[in-house]
Structure 1
């Protein structure tokens, strides 16, 4: 055998062997003692009803308008709407707020104003209102708004905000 070939082969084999010994272990292999990370699902917050507020914004002559819009402000539900009353002695009130099984029902009714005298205008009035329903942690999945003018409740809005 040629002496130069033999020395080249021995030198190359020695370098390859040393390279394997000097490796820090971060090569392409998979360590057998590495723990596998498991994702823990984040629990979905449950809405908790805390408070409600109701305000009549204005009353004016008009037509038989029943409308409402629902918006979410953080975890609070804001309902702005118009309900009609049969005469000028009527106003709106928050009849009830019910929260059950992720559904919020806001019931608005017309009633006789406490300060109404004996004489009332005979024209239909439109009563604008704002209802705010406060929740902790999350907003409800469904919101239903009903209006009752003394002749039974009617659903005005049924939405998932």
Structure 2
């Protein structure tokens, strides 16, 4: 074999080796997507955004959820009180109250419902007075819940129980609501009456 023929043969062999590497037929090659033959590529699953804990004092309640039942207690103008929110729902049937007297326990129990502008609001005792003439007056108001930014938009009905403990049971008590409908006199009840009567 002459020198020219030998060089051409060597060049041809080198070209075949390069082509074999490009097609991935050789050992240690790739399958065209950057991975070795027989190896599978996996993609890490994406994490979904979930809120399991409050952030910056926020709340995990979903928008539209009603305010949770809660209670407030204390003493105001010489009268001990316990105020409990028992239920909240979308309704326009607010502003009603029933009064019951318990002379033995020196207590008056007011069970009522007050209307609110939306489900972001709750209710509480605004004031109570115990007059020297034996008459008492109570104001229940709605107020915005703390740490809540999004709620269901509807006229809400907030049901509550209010227990008042006096030194002596008053002869008469009037209940006023300050809610979505404004300041409304709801009922006036005299001790010993069978049922509450609307204020005049």
TM bin (shorter chain) = 0.5 to 0.7
* CA deviation after TM superposition for structure 1 residue 50, in Å: 3.9
* Number of matched pairs: 112
Query: Are 1:127 and 2:158 matched, yes or no?
Result: yes
Query: Are 1:70 and 2:99 matched, yes or no?
Result: yes
Asked whether the 8 Å contact 2:79–2:128 carries over to 1, the reply is: no
Structure 2 partner of 1:81? 112
Aligned partners of 1:50, 1:110: CA distance in 2, in Å? 21
* CA deviation after TM superposition for structure 1 residue 144, in Å: 0.3
Structure 2 partner of 1:139? 169
Structure 1 partner of 2:11? none
* CA deviation after TM superposition for structure 1 residue 78, in Å: 0.4
Structure (1 or 2) with the greater strand fraction: 1
Structure 2: tracts of 5 or more residues without a match: 1-76, 192-200
Asked whether the 8 Å contact 1:49–1:134 carries over to 2, the reply is: no
* CA deviation after TM superposition for structure 1 residue 150, in Å: 5.9
Asked whether the 8 Å contact 1:103–1:140 carries over to 2, the reply is: yes
Aligned partners of 1:50, 1:106: CA distance in 2, in Å? 11
Which of 87, 110, 124 is matched with 1:58 structurally? Answer: 87
**Aligned pairs for 1:5-154 within 5 A:** 49-73=78-102, 74=104, 75-100=106-131, 101-117=133-149, 119-136=150-167, 138-149=168-179, 152-154=182-184
* CA deviation after TM superposition for structure 1 residue 99, in Å: 1.0
Structure 2 partner of 1:3? none
* CA deviation after TM superposition for structure 1 residue 53, in Å: 1.4
Provide, for residues 117-149 of structure 1, a one-character-per-residue CA deviation record: whole Å limited to 9, x for no partner: 2x221101110011111012x310110000001
Q: What TM-score, normalized to structure 1?
A: 0.64
Q: Which has the higher contact order (CA 8 A, sep 6+)?
A: 1
Structure 1: tracts of 5 or more residues without a match: 1-47
Q: What TM-score, normalized to structure 2?
A: 0.52
Aligned partners of 1:115, 1:93: CA distance in 2, in Å? 17
Give the direction of change, closer, same or farther, for the CA distance of 1:151–1:84 in structure 2 (3 Å limit). Answer: closer
Asked whether the 8 Å contact 2:177–2:185 carries over to 1, the reply is: yes
CA RMSD of aligned residues (A): 1.8
